[in-house]
Structures are given as C-alpha cells and as structure tokens.
C-alpha cells in the first residue's frame, strides 16, 4: 500500500526523502508500475514530476534524455534514433506510454523490454543523483538488487552510432519473443543486445567489428526457454536477426 | 491527504488516502464514464481520461499525481439535447457519429474511444485510417474489431470539415444483399440506432458497478495456490479480527449444496460437481475462502491473514492420462450427481458416441483414407468488463443480485438451493454488460456476493480482478481431435469420423454440451455427394475428462470453432492431395437446402433429438460473394501474387473455410415478451432476453416496431429483470433474434390486433365502415384502405381513458421445433516470413447467410467483432500452465488481444436468405464468425509456404518448426 506521497521541488529534497531508513521510499516518474510493488508491502512515493527531469538535450556528440521524459515523448522526438522510437512502441499501450517515463521503465523493466534492449546496444550511460554519477546502463542492469544510485537523472546516448533492431512477436504489438539491437560506431565497433526473455535484456557482444556477433547472440540463448518460446527457436532466431541487423547496418 | 483536482474545469477539494488512484476518485465523485476494469496495469484503457491534452489510464496514476493538471472526462463531452424544458448543446459530433455508424456494441470502452477521437481531431482535421487506428491503440475492444469505431471517427472528421452530412458516409447497407421477401419492411432491415447507444456514448451510469449503496462491503476471494489439495486446516481468526472485516466464510460456514455453475435450462445437462466452498481444491485459483470488508485494501489484508494448511494431492494436467488406471481422481465427493454417462471414477465428465449410417462401410468404399490429428488451445473470452455482482436485501427481505450476467433467470433458479432461499425471494437484475461472449453464461460469482450479504446483512460487491479472470473464471475447452475421412478419387466423401478428447478442467460445467456441439455443427456440414448425400456416414465420438486445470465453460461458438479447426484443415488437405479446387470440393459435399441435418436424428442439446430439414442454405452464394470480395480468382494458384517484391523471405497466401452454426436449441430454448401500450402511442417492450452489447434490445424493438407501425424510438425496452420481465433462457446458442424475436413478434401482432379492433370502432363512430382486419399500422397511425387515419396516440387515449377502458397489452412465448443453421464462407490472406515463421494476417473476409438481417449495423458488427476474436485464436491467444498447474498468462500483457493499430482489413458481407420458419426470415449471426478464421488462416499459411499447421495458435515458432520439418523431410 502507498502510505505517503511527496512531491518535492528539488533533487536534494527528493534524495533526503528516499534516503530514509523507513518506510521504504521510492521515486516515481509516471508511477505506472508502482502499484505492483505497493501490493506486496507498504511504500512511500516521491513524485519527481516537478524536478524538470523531462528535457531532451542534444549536442553534436551526445543526446541526454531526462529520466522523467515520457515514453510517448521519446516516440515523437526525431532526435532520438529511429530504432529506439520504434522499440518504445512495444512498451505498453499508447495510454501507458503517455504516463510512463524512461527512468521508470528502466528501473522496473523485465527481459521483455525492447526499449531497454536498444539502449543497452547503444552503450547508454545512466546519470544518478546530485553528483551526476555515471554508470553504463548494461553494468547497472547486471548488478544484483542493491544497485547504486537513488534518483536517475538522465540517460546519455552517444550520437556517433547507427542502430538497427529486429523483433519477433506473435503480432505487431505483442511482447517480443526475441529482439536484437545492434549499434555500430564509426570506428567499426559493434555492440549487440538481446531481449525478450529472462530478468533483463542483456548485452551479448561488444567487439571491434561484427565478427563473432552471430555466434555470441546464439550462445546467449542456450538457456532461453520459457512458456513463450523454446531456447532452440530463440537461438536460431538470434543468429538470424543478428545477421539481418548487421546487413542493414552495412547497407 | 488533501488535494485539489481540476476535473472538467471544476475544482474538487478532496481528502483521501495517498494510495487513491485518480480512477477511484473520479468514480466516487460520480464520473462513471471512466470504467474500472481491474486490469491493474493499464492494458485495457477503459478508464481513460484526458490529462493535459493526452489520453491516460486513470487507474495507473495516483490522484495526488494528477493535482495541478487538467482532467477531462467523457461527462464533459456532450449530453442529451432535450431535458424537458432545458435544452442543451446536445451530443458531440463524434458521439453522434459513433451512434449513427453502429460503432457502439457493449459500450464499455466507448467513452475512452470518444475521448481518444476528440484528441485526434483536435490535432488533425483529416486523419488517415492509420492515424485513427493509432489514436485508438490504447483502448482495448473485444466487441467491434475496431472497424466501425474507426469509420465513425473518419465520418465525424468529414462532418466537422464540412465534407459530409450525418448519414452520408454510411455504406453498411452495401454489405447486405437483401432477400426479395424483405421489400416493404419499414423497420426490419434498417440500421436503427441502438436503443442504448445514447446512454453508452455519454458514459451514463449503466453498468453493474455504476451504483453506490450505503454500507456496501467489498468482497475478495482467497484462491488456492495449489492445483490439487485437501484443506487440512483453515484458521480465519486473525482475518476476522482485522478492523473493517465484516465476514470471513469457509466451507465450514455455509451449507454444503452441490450444483453446477453452467447457466443452462433445467435439468442441467451435466454433472453436479461444484460447491460454493469446498474442503478440496482442484485447480490453482480454486476458491478457499471469501471475505467481506469495508474496502479493497482491508479485504486484501484479511486474505493474507487466513492461515491454510494444505495436504497436497497428485496433480493431473494431461488429458490423455485422465482415464488411465491409476490417474489421480479429481472428484471423489459422495454428493457428486452424475449425468448421462459421466463417471468420476474414470475422471469422465461426459462422453458421446454417435454413429450415423455405417462409417466402416463408408471407409471400405473409399479410394483413399485421410487421417490426422489436430489440437486447439484453452483461450479466454476476455470481455473487458470483468465478472461483477452486487447483492443486497431489499425492503421486503428479498435478495437482489445486480450482476453482469447472460442468464439472469438461470442464475436465480440455480442460486436458490445454494443459498437456501426459494426462487421467489431472489431477484436478479442485469444492467448493461461490458461483453460476455459466453463467459457470463455462468453462475460464477453471484454466490460469493450473496453468501456474504446473508452473513453480514449488508450490500456486498464482488468484482473479479483481471488476474482472477485468468485464473478462476472460464475459458474455451481445449481439445485434441482425430479426424479420419474416406474419399473417392472424384472427391466424394464416403465417410467422415471425428474423435475429440476434451479437457473440461476441474469442473464439468458445459462439458457435455460444448463438445456435443463440436460434432453436431462441424461434422454436419459435409454429408458427401451422390448416394452418400442421401445416407451420409458420419461418426462422432468424444470423451470429456476432468483435469486440474481451471474449468472451461461457454465461449462464443460453443465447441464449434474447435470442430471447424479440425474439419476445415482436414478438408483442405484432402482437396490438395486430390488436386481438387478447395471450394469446389467443399461445395460438392456440403449440405444443401431441403436436406436433413444429419445429426438431428441422433443428438440434441438437452432434449430428445427430432429429425429436421434444413430449408435455407446460402453457402454457395456466400462462397461466390466472398471469392469476389477477396479477389480469390486473381490470387489462388497465381504464383507471382505469392511473391513479395524486394523481400524474398516473405510469401503471401490465401485460404478459405466453410462453416455452419446453429440457431437456438429446438424444443428447449424459450423466450417470452410482454408489450403494453402507453398514453402517447408508444409501447413498453418487456423481455427477459439479455443484451450483451449485441444489440438484441434494438433488434427486438425493430421487430416489434415492424408489427406496430412505429419507429424504434417509440418502443421502450426493459430487459433482463427476473421480477419485471417475462422468462427468457438468456443470451447463448445464438437464439435471441430467432426465439425471443419470434415471441416479440407474436406479442406485437396480438397488440396490433387489439389496436385494430379499437380503431375500427373509432372509425365507425366517425361513420367510416371498416373491418379491423382491413386496417394497417403504419407511421404511428392506423390506416384504412381508403387512407383515413387515426393516430396511435388517439387509440391509446381512447383505450386507457375514454370508453370501454382496457390496457392494450399482450404476452407471448416461443419455443422452436427447428434450429435453422446459418452458413458462412471465411477467407483469409496472409504474409509469412519464411525465416522466422511470423504470420501477418492482411485481410479477412466473411460472407454469411444468416437469413434476413434485421439491423445491418449490429449484424456486420457481430461479424467484425467475432472475426477479431477468432483472429486471436488463430495466431496469438493461448492459456498455458507450468508443470504444477500454475497459469502463465494472468493479464493482457502476456495474453495478447488485438489492438486497433494491428488489425487486418475486415470485410463482412451478408447474402440474405429468407428462413421460412421465422416471421421475419431470420437466422442467427452471433457465433458463426468465430468458426472459420483459424482454419482459413492456416489454409492460407499452407498456400504460402506449403506447411501444415495442425495446432493453434499459429505462433512464429510453430510455423517455423513446421517449415523445418518439411525441409528435413526433403
């Protein structure tokens, strides 16, 4: 149950509330997934909507997306890479995306998130708290439950990349059975992320070029069985979708 | 906490707990247009409101988060234009368009769609179809297939631009090829606006949940986490002690009365095997205890405080093992009441053995025998409004149950012994329903609310969460089906045999009758040709077994979609193997007009079978119309068409399925109607028939209006109240238009005769000599052959107030000796990714012979909505379980139903026949669209990539596996 609601005007105020020992106090952006958590235990919530964390700032080299930017705002902003704007359409319905935020999605995502898959591929950086501590997204997700950082401020994506993604689902708007996102840097570096199963999407390959990416993607699906698909299928499709993405990046 | 909200430009100052959602606040302030569908993670959008110019789910946001923002609800959009002496601005153009385009069925999601449309049309005055579909993407609809709502919004946009006037753009009439006998009808055959459309489009409080009763408690149910167990001990002490808890009931607290939850006529055609609460739980989700408390949060906490110790029992999840010696037995209770050949010692809920002709002889005469196995999954009705019931004692100490049900009269009858109340002390009222599709042909939760009202003396509301719908409600029966068919080289079917193994789950509601229909309808279509046509050889055997899965029940189509999956896949294989045109092969062997329904001599649902001739069979015309609409001749067998330019990994395919359903159950289904005349010449039509959003209130009003010479607006319909309306068996078996419509017509004709008698006397007083039987009722008047008129208004005043006063009224019932089947041809066009197995369904066309179409809007809406549900059955919907019986799908995220912006093109066509057994020539329409989509899609997949899909849904992995097997064979 949600026992307290706060709407602070500063990050400092928000941090001091979140830092309390009890009750469990959680920041919310859109708050679309807080009710699942609050069914399990009593929580206090700190609403970040007045902290101006919903800006999208661009420079020549990077894109910084504020943590409380809604998913629908991401979808329509042409500065955001097209693959990310497409992937975000699988993050719940349009209504949900009008409320749900990038930060909220990141901290509550499961393996099905196409959006987080594409962000992992880009080697996005998460920025936390007043001191703007930077942690690579892939690393942050891979950490066990007691993760560092209390308030996500933004995510930074480098702009010197091209990004492609592919998805398999039962219907166009269904959860992914498998999605593959690949980013390629001007230097030739290739980074591959997979989603559609497991606890979170995962980075499966990061190399100076694409050699070995297909095998790495296939290997990552060795134990990818669940009620929605078998590991055999995901394994074959991981290889196929990786090849398709690489071909599009070359084209 | 205290907050201030701005709703529809009005400031609300509110005090509430922090936990309160915006939805809860809105509904408690009387904004009932935002629906609480309990989806709990925002998938359905029925609670949509506009916040700062964006459509959001009000269930997903705390009221406190919404402070400082501008909220707009449907209540601000428009209202009834004339309210006595007060004239308002009236309804919004969008609302008018929804009403006039037939875009409203159950209406549960309509307010959300209207709000979505308003936002879109504020941004763009000329949206494309795709943009409209995208705008509706956040609102799930299970009734319409989104087809007419999209058209309504495009129509509204055109009207607002000044490019069209209302009604200009309605092309539905073109989708109906009328029978010649319908010329001269004034009301029947017209797309009358639904009688409930106006309240639904405004979001008026019309649904079960849209009332507040003083002192009402909230009920919650504790569900078993184990698939099979005995309750060793259950301690409710701590739960009862929690402040705010009014009652906690276990199996120890209520009478132990065995019954069936199936909403069917007496005697229930199935075993009695259910208790409201039992000491044994038989599936994950089965009931353990029930709680009534002051609010949801307290009720949920109370559930956690109930201490239960289970003795786990062996689990049975595999239907093929159910009847084997040593299999765990699901029902060992001594009170079990058998029906027909049920045998709980073998886990057998029912079995069927039907032989028509001599199947073995037929096989021996065949040139080739085809055998194959098919499988269909468990799927959910997924009505957007969950099951909900509110029970309370009225001032006469009668128990009133207000419930979202398809079967109010059956519910009353079935609940009486369970509650230890006579039928006369129970009243069941059905308000508007947010979809049923068979899921509410069940006395599923009314007993919970009723028991708790009895225990507490207070009103109690019980509404299922979306998760409870998945774990504890009903579903379509999954089946494993074996087909064996003998054919001659020329395609004549010499014998046709089906064996079904049906998993009915933990309880046997609808066990016998669903599977009975699987054979009765799907195996009846193909009788063979030549001599075999006169004496078909058909076998239908079935075993319906218990397992520890949640119980299956009624779902639109009622066993027939399962049957046609097997039959139509099988027919396709045979046609291709014999190198025959698939349509010609089907028509060669299909039932024809004037022939006997082959099963009519051997099986009827709940009654003795009697032979029946099928008088109208429009299948051939359906095939011709459907072929033309989808472009069959240009596509089938045309290799270049199958190739997708520039994308060599994609292949297109086209497929077909022929189907027939039924219309009511002969000698069983009864409907009744009562009509009385009012002072102003209008009429009250009282019917027990249950409108689920299908439009039956409207269609029945049209039939009444046809006989009485008045438009639909002069017929005030009151339906589905066991106290005030005559009996009707309820909304199932595709019976309402036919059975209830016949009763309405009889009553209306009786009333018309009384009007004519009175009018003849009135004419005579004016010196006009005329006999009653020469008079006609037309345009609110009674008319002589010479054209003299007396108004119905004057007739009513004369009869009620002036002379020889009497109330002009009549009651009539009807039960039918026949069940004339509708027929249909379903076509599908697909694109298959040959590397991934992904299937995109591009087009669905269905051509239907359902007799005369009373209302083209509602009838085409039934086809469009049915096809979209059946599409899910074909490609994505499936309820699966782990090896301990735990459900994997518990919400609309994992159980995907189609959204507006991923729908294929839908085309519904009617080719009318005039069914002579009905005064208006009608047959059924509601269920047949469920039957053919899955096999048509699979046949199209075969056409595209030359692989057989014999199990649905046709997921990417299943198609990929089929392609892989084919490659390995080569």
Q: How confident is the model at residue B962 (pLDDT cuts 50, 70, 90)?
A: very high
* Alpha-carbon span B2 to A132, nearest angstrom: 34
Assess A49–B contact: CB distance below 8 Å, yes or no.
yes
Assess A171–B contact: CB distance below 8 Å, yes or no.
yes
| Beta strand residue intervals within A7-58, DSSP E | 25-28, 43-47, 56-58
* Alpha-carbon span B692 to B702, nearest angstrom: 17
Please, which residues 10-39 of chain A have a Cβ atom closer than 8 Å to chain B?
Answer: 28, 30-33, 35-36, 38-39
Assess A240–B contact: CB distance below 8 Å, yes or no.
yes
Phi, psi of B713 (to 5 degrees): -65, -15
B62 interaction partners in chain A (CB closer than 8 Å): 2, 5, 31, 45, 47
Nearest partner of B706 among B910, B409, B922, judged by Cα: B922
* Alpha-carbon span B256 to A74, nearest angstrom: 58
What mean pLDDT comes out for the span B385-403?
Answer: 98
The 10s digit of each residue's pLDDT in A115-126 is 999 999 999 999
Q: Looking at per-residue confidence, does B907 or B179 come out higher?
A: B907
* Alpha-carbon span B751 to B745, nearest angstrom: 10
The 10s digit of each residue's pLDDT in B818-832 is 999 999 999 999 999
The 10s digit of each residue's pLDDT in B903-949 is 999 999 999 999 999 999 999 999 999 999 999 999 999 999 999 99
CA distance A42 to chain B (A): 10
Q: Do A230 and B957 touch (CB under 8 A)?
A: yes
The 10s digit of each residue's pLDDT in B883-899 is 999 999 999 999 999 99
Q: Is the pLDDT of residue B603 over 90?
A: no
What mean pLDDT comes out for the span B783-803?
Answer: 97
Of B18, B48, B894, the CB nearest to A3: B18
Assess B311–A contact: CB distance below 8 Å, yes or no.
no
Which residues have a Cβ under 8 Å from the Cβ of B842 and sit 6 or more positions away? B652, B829, B830, B831, B904, B905
Q: Which residue has the tokens 């690579």?
A: A136
- Average pLDDT value for chain B: 96
pLDDT score of B174: 79
Percent of chain B beyond pLDDT 70? 100
- CA count, 13 A, side-chain hemisphere, A58: 8
A7 interaction partners in chain B (CB closer than 8 Å): 64
pLDDT score of A251: 81
CB pairs under 8 A between A and B: 130
The 10s digit of each residue's pLDDT in B707-757 is 999 999 999 999 999 999 999 999 999 999 999 999 999 999 999 999 999
CA distance B896 to chain A (A): 6
Q: Is the pLDDT of residue B221 over 90?
A: yes
Q: Do B57 and A99 touch (CB under 8 A)?
A: yes
Assess B880–A contact: CB distance below 8 Å, yes or no.
yes
* Alpha-carbon span B507 to B270, nearest angstrom: 10
The DSSP element (H or E) to which B155 belongs, if any, is helix B147-161
The 10s digit of each residue's pLDDT in B469-513 is 999 999 999 999 999 999 999 999 999 999 999 999 999 999 999
Of A49, A98, A230, the CB nearest to B56: A98
pLDDT score of A148: 79
Of B61, B140, B896, the CB nearest to A31: B61
DSSP state of A70: B
Q: Give me the sign of the Cα torsion angle B579, B583, B587, B589.
A: positive
Assess B764–A contact: CB distance below 8 Å, yes or no.
no
Assess A2–B contact: CB distance below 8 Å, yes or no.
yes
Three-state DSSP class for residue B270: coil
Assess B953–A contact: CB distance below 8 Å, yes or no.
yes
What mean pLDDT comes out for the span B191-196?
Answer: 96
Residue B858 is encoded by which pair of tokens? 């509602």
pLDDT score of B183: 76
Residue B372 is encoded by which pair of tokens? 């194959």
Assess B875–A contact: CB distance below 8 Å, yes or no.
yes
CA distance B264 to chain A (A): 35
pLDDT score of B731: 94
Of B42, B62, B140, the CB nearest to A5: B62
pLDDT score of B175: 86
Q: Is the pLDDT of residue A39 over 80?
A: no
* Alpha-carbon span B868 to B845, nearest angstrom: 11
Of B55, B64, B957, the CB nearest to A233: B957
What mean pLDDT comes out for the span B386-407?
Answer: 98
What mean pLDDT comes out for the span A13-23?
Answer: 91
Please, which residues 49-78 of chain B have a Cβ atom closer than 8 Å to chain A?
Answer: 54-57, 60-62, 64-65
Of A2, A169, A240, the CB nearest to B18: A2
Q: Is the pLDDT of residue A193 over 90?
A: yes
A45 interaction partners in chain B (CB closer than 8 Å): 18, 62
B5 interaction partners in chain A (CB closer than 8 Å): none
Quote the ipTM score.
Answer: 0.97
pTM over 0.90: yes
What mean pLDDT comes out for the span A61-87?
Answer: 97
pLDDT score of B829: 98
- List Cα–Cα distances, B46 to A175, B110, B116, in angstroms: 21, 8, 11
Q: Do A5 and B54 touch (CB under 8 A)?
A: no
pLDDT score of B165: 86
Q: Do A93 and B55 touch (CB under 8 A)?
A: no
B899 interaction partners in chain A (CB closer than 8 Å): 93, 173
* Alpha-carbon span B937 to A66, nearest angstrom: 45
pLDDT score of B180: 76
A44 interaction partners in chain B (CB closer than 8 Å): 18
Residue B554 is encoded by which pair of tokens? 């009624």
**Angle of CA points B69, B70, B76, to nearest 5°:** 160
The 10s digit of each residue's pLDDT in B200-212 is 999 999 999 999 9
Q: How confident is the model at residue B171 (pLDDT cuts 50, 70, 90)?
A: confident
- List Cα–Cα distances, B233 to A134, B220, B250, B278, B280, in angstroms: 54, 20, 11, 12, 11
| Domains of chain A, CATH where assigned | 2-50 (3.30.43), 51-158 (3.30.465.10), 161-250 (3.30.390.50)
Of B61, B876, B888, the CB nearest to A171: B876
What mean pLDDT comes out for the span B145-173?
Answer: 91
């Amino acid at each position: 149950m949600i026992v307290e609601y706060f709407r602070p005007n500063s990050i400092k105020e928000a941090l001091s509330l979140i830092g309390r020992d009890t009750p469990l106090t959680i920041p919310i952006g859109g708050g679309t997934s807080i009710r699942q958590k609050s069914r399990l235990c009593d929580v206090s919530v700190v609403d970040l909507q007045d902290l101006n964390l919903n800006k999208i700032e661009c420079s020549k080299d990077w894109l910084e997306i504020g943590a409380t930017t809604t998913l629908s705002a991401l979808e329509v902003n042409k500065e955001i890479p097209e693959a990310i704007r497409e992937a975000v359409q699988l993050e719940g319905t349009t209504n949900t995306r009008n409320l749900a935020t990038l930060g909220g999605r990141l901290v509550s995502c499961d393996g099905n998130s196409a959006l987080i898959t594409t962000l992992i591929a880009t080697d996005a950086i998460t920025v936390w708290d007043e001191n703007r501590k930077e942690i690579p997204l892939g690393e942050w997700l891979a950490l066990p439950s007691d993760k560092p950082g209390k308030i996500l401020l933004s995510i930074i994506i480098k702009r010197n990349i091209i990004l492609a993604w592919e998805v398999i689902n039962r219907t166009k708007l269904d959860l992914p059975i498998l999605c593959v996102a690949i980013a390629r840097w001007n230097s030739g570096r290739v980074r591959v992320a997979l989603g559609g199963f497991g606890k979170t999407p995962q980075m499966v390959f990061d190399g100076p070029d694409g050699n070995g990416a297909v095998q790495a993607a296939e290997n990552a699906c060795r134990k990818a069985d669940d009620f929605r698909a078998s590991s055999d299928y995901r394994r074959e499709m991981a290889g196929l979708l990786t090849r398709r993405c690489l071909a599009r990046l070359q084209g | 906490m205290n907050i201030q909200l701005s709703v529809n430009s009005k400031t609300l100052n509110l005090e509430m707990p922090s936990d309160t959602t915006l939805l809860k606040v809105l509904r408690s302030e009387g904004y009932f247009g935002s629906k609480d569908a309990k989806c709990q993670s925002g998938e359905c959008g029925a609670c949509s409101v506009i916040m700062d110019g964006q459509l959001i789910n009000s269930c997903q946001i705390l009221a406190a988060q919404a402070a400082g923002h501008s909220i707009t609800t449907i209540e601000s959009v428009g209202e009834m234009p004339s309210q006595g002496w007060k004239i308002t601005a009236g309804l919004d153009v969008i609302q008018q368009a929804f009403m006039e385009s037939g875009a409203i069925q159950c209406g549960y999601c309509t307010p959300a769609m209207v709000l979505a449309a308003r936002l879109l049309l504020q941004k763009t005055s000329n949206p494309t179809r795709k943009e409209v579909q995208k705008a509706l993407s956040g609102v799930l609809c299970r009734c319409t297939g989104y087809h007419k709502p999209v058209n309504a919004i495009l129509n509204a946009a055109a009207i607002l631009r000044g490019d069209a006037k209302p009604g200009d753009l309605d092309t539905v009439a073109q989708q109906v090829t009328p029978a010649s006998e319908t010329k001269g009808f004034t009301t029947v055959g017209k797309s009358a606006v639904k009688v409930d459309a106006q309240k639904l489009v405004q979001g008026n409080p019309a649904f079960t949940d849209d009332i507040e009763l003083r002192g009402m408690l909230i009920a919650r149910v504790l569900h078993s986490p184990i698939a099979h167990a005995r309750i060793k001990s259950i301690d409710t002490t701590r739960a009862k002690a929690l402040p705010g808890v009014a009652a906690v009931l276990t199996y120890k607290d209520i009478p132990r009365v065995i019954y069936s939850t199936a909403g069917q006529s007496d005697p229930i055609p199935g075993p009695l095997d259910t208790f409201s609460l039992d000491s044994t739980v038989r599936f994950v989700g089965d009931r353990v205890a029930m709680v009534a408390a002051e609010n949801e949060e307290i009720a949920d906490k109370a559930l956690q405080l109930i201490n239960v110790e289970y003795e786990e029992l062996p689990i049975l999840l595999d239907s093929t093992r159910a009847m084997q010696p040593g299999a765990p037995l699901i029902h060992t209770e001594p009170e079990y009441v058998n029906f027909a050949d049920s045998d709980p010692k073998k886990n057998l809920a029912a079995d069927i053995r039907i032989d028509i002709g001599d199947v073995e002889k037929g096989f021996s005469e065949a040139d080739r025998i085809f055998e194959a196995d098919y499988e269909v999954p468990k799927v959910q009705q997924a009505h957007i409004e969950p099951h909900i019931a509110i029970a309370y004692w009225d001032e006469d100490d009668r128990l009133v149950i207000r419930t979202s049900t398809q079967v109010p009269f059956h519910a009353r009858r079935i609940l009486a012994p369970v509650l230890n109340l006579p039928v006369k002390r129970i009243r069941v009222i059905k308000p508007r329903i947010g979809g049923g599709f068979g899921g509410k042909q069940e006395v599923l939760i009314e007993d919970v609310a009723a028991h708790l009202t009895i225990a507490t003396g207070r009103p109690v509301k019980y509404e299922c969460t979306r998760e409870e719908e998945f774990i504890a409600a009903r579903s379509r029966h999954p089946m494993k089906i074996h087909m064996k068919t003998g054919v001659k080289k020329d395609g004549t079917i010499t014998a046709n045999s089906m064996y079904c193994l049906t998993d009915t789950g933990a309880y046997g509601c609808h066990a016998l009758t669903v599977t009975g229909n699987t054979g009765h309808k799907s195996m009846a279509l193909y009788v063979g040709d030549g001599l075999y046509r006169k004496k078909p050889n058909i076998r239908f055997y079935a075993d319906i077994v218990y397992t520890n899965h949640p119980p299956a029940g009624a779902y639109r189509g009622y066993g027939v979609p399962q049957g046609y999956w097997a039959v139509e896949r099988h027919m396709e294989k045979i046609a291709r193997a014999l190198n025959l045109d698939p349509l010609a092969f089907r028509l060669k062997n299909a039932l024809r007009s004037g022939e006997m329904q082959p099963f009519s001599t051997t099986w009827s649902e709940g009654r003795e079978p009697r032979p029946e001739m099928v008088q109208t069979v429009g299948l051939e015309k359906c095939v011709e119309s459907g072929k033309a609409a989808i472009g069959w001749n240009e596509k089938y067998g045309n290799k270049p068409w199958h190739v997708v330019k520039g994308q060599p990994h994609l292949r297109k395919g086209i497929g077909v399925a022929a189907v027939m359903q039924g219309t009511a159950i002969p000698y069983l289904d009864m409907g009744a109607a009562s009509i009385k005349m009012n002072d102003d010449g209008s009429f009250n039509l009282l019917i027990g028939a249950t409108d689920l959003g299908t439009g039956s209130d409207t269609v029945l009003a049209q039939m009444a209006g046809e006989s009485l010479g008045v438009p639909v607006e002069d017929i005030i319909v009151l339906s589905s109240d066991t106290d005030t309306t005559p009996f009707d068996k309820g909304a199932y078996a595709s019976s309402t238009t036919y059975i209830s419509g016949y009763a309405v017509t009889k009553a209306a004709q009786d009333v018309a005769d009384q009007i004519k008698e009175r009018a003849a006397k009135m004419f005579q007083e004016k010196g006009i000599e005329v006999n009653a039987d020469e008079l006609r009722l037309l345009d609110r008047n009674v008319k002589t052959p010479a054209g003299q008129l007396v108004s119905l208004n004057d007739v009513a005043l004369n009869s009620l107030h002036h002379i020889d006063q009497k109330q002009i009224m009549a009651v009539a019932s009807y039960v039918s000796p026949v069940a004339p089947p509708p027929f249909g041809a379903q076509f599908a066009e697909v694109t298959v990714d040959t590397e991934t197995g992904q299937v995109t369904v591009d087009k669905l066309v269905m051509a239907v012979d359902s007799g005369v179409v009373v209302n083209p809007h509602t009838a085409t809406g039934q086809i469009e909505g049915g096809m979209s549900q059946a599409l899910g059955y074909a490609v994505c919907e499936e309820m699966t379980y782990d090896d301990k019986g735990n459900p994997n799908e518990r919400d609309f995220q994992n159980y995907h139903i189609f959204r507006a912006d991923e729908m294929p093109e839908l085309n519904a066509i009617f080719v009318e026949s005039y069914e002579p057994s009905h005064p208006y020539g009608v047959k059924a329409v509601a269920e047949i669209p469920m039957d053919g989509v899955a096999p048509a899609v699979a046949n199209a997949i075969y056409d595209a990539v030359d692989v057989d899909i014999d199990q649905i849904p046709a997921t990417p992995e299943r198609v990929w596996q089929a392609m892989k097997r084919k490659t390995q064979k080569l």
